[in-house]
């Protein structure tokens, strides 16, 4: 059965989508069958992998409200072994539509169960919120990767996220683990960047991934080409960092 990993942090702009796309692509390059779920109505993973969200007819939204089967939504990508379930702006409405459903926190888990056997890893790119869709993602997942930007206020909101994780572990998903805290957009030349790394490592110790993601222009420009950085420039520092993260996670999984 594939491992399901949510990429979540309610703070925007910390590198969730960049991580979801590039970690998924790196796992696929390592020949793990990988599915990435775009669970953000902004649909940045969908467009970053070369699909126009406005043209998507069947998204994770239709699956969660019972209007489509997940198999109808899966699309292939430029990278072998990498598949995508796209998002659509309609996902915004799903939170309201689902309010009266029974087991409304468990819709994504039910949807992913159908294909979990067919993949080694399923990664979920979450929206910058702790709303119902993110709660669904965390309820469906075996673990969570928390990207933290090496910037001012890096730790802001992390307490609230950890608190939400504890509540979900108690009430909805006792198996949810923290895969790790991922330091992103690290700039070796900046004192601040180094201070944040030190602070996070001191505070969270072995919860922090060994791999640190550098600030790298190939990572920020590859979505405009509709491909992950590893396709855009396989030798770039950003691509190599995500490959190293994929190995770090896969090595633990295989042990
Ligand atoms: P989130 O999904 O958490 O909102 P994104 O992954 O979309 O964050 O990242 C926010 C912005 O920062 C995007 O423009 C993205 O291209 C850029 N970015 C993310 N990670 C890096 C990085 N390591 N190096 C350079 N730019 C990055
Ligand atoms: Mg995003």
Backbone phi, then psi, for 159, in 5-degree steps?
Answer: -60, -45
CA distance 112 to 121: 11
- Residue from 15, 49, 196 whose mutation best tests the ligand 1 pocket (most atoms within 8 A of CB): 15
CA distance 145 to 158: 12
The residue whose C-alpha atom lies closest to atom 16 belonging to ligand 1 is 220
Backbone phi, then psi, for 208, in 5-degree steps?
Answer: -90, 135
pLDDT string in tens for the chain (255-residue length)? 999 999 999 999 999 999 999 999 999 999 999 999 999 999 999 999 999 999 999 999 999 999 999 999 999 998 999 999 999 988 888 888 888 888 999 999 999 999 999 999 999 999 999 999 999 999 999 999 999 999 988 888 899 999 999 999 999 999 999 999 999 999 999 999 999 999 999 999 999 999 999 999 999 999 999 999 999 999 999 999 999 999 999 998 876
CATH number of the CATH domain containing 123: 3.40.50.300
3-state secondary structure of 245: helix
List the one residue out of 19, 49, 252 whose CA is nearest residue 148: 19
Structural domain containing residue 36: 3-254
Question: From the CA of 16, how far away is ligand 2's center (Å)?
Answer: 5
List the one residue out of 155, 217, 162 whose CA is nearest residue 185: 217
Interface ipTM above 0.90: yes
The total number of structural domains that make up the chain: 1
């Amino acid at each position: 059965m594939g491992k399901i990993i949510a990429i979540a942090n309610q703070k925007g702009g910390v590198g969730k989508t960049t991580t979801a796309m590039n970690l998924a692509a790196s796992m696929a390059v390592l020949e793990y069958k990988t599915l990435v779920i775009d669970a953000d109505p902004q649909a940045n993973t969908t467009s970053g992998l070369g699909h126009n969200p406005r043209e998507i007819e069947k998204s994770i939204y239709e699956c969660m409200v019972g209007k489509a089967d997940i198999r109808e939504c899966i699309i292939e990508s430029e990278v072998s072994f990498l598949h995508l379930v796209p998002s659509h702006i309609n996902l915004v409405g799903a939170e309201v539509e689902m309010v009266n459903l029974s087991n409304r926190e468990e819709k994504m888990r039910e949807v992913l169960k159908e294909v979990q056997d067919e993949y080694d890893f399923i990664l979920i790119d979450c929206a910058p919120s702790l709303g119902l869709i993110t709660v669904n993602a965390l309820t469906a997942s075996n673990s969570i990767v928390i990207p933290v930007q090496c910037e001012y206020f890096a730790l802001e909101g992390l307490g609230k996220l950890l608190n939400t994780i504890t509540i979900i572990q108690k009430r909805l998903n006792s198996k949810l683990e923290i895969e790790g805290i991922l330091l992103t957009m690290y700039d070796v030349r900046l004192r601040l960047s180094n201070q944040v790394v030190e602070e996070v490592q001191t505070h969270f110790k072995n919860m922090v991934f060994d791999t640190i993601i550098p600030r790298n222009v190939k990572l920020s420009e590859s979505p405009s080409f509709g491909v992950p950085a590893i396709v855009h420039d396989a030798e770039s520092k950003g691509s190599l960092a995500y490959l190293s993260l994929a190995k770090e996670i896969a090595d633990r999984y295989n042990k």
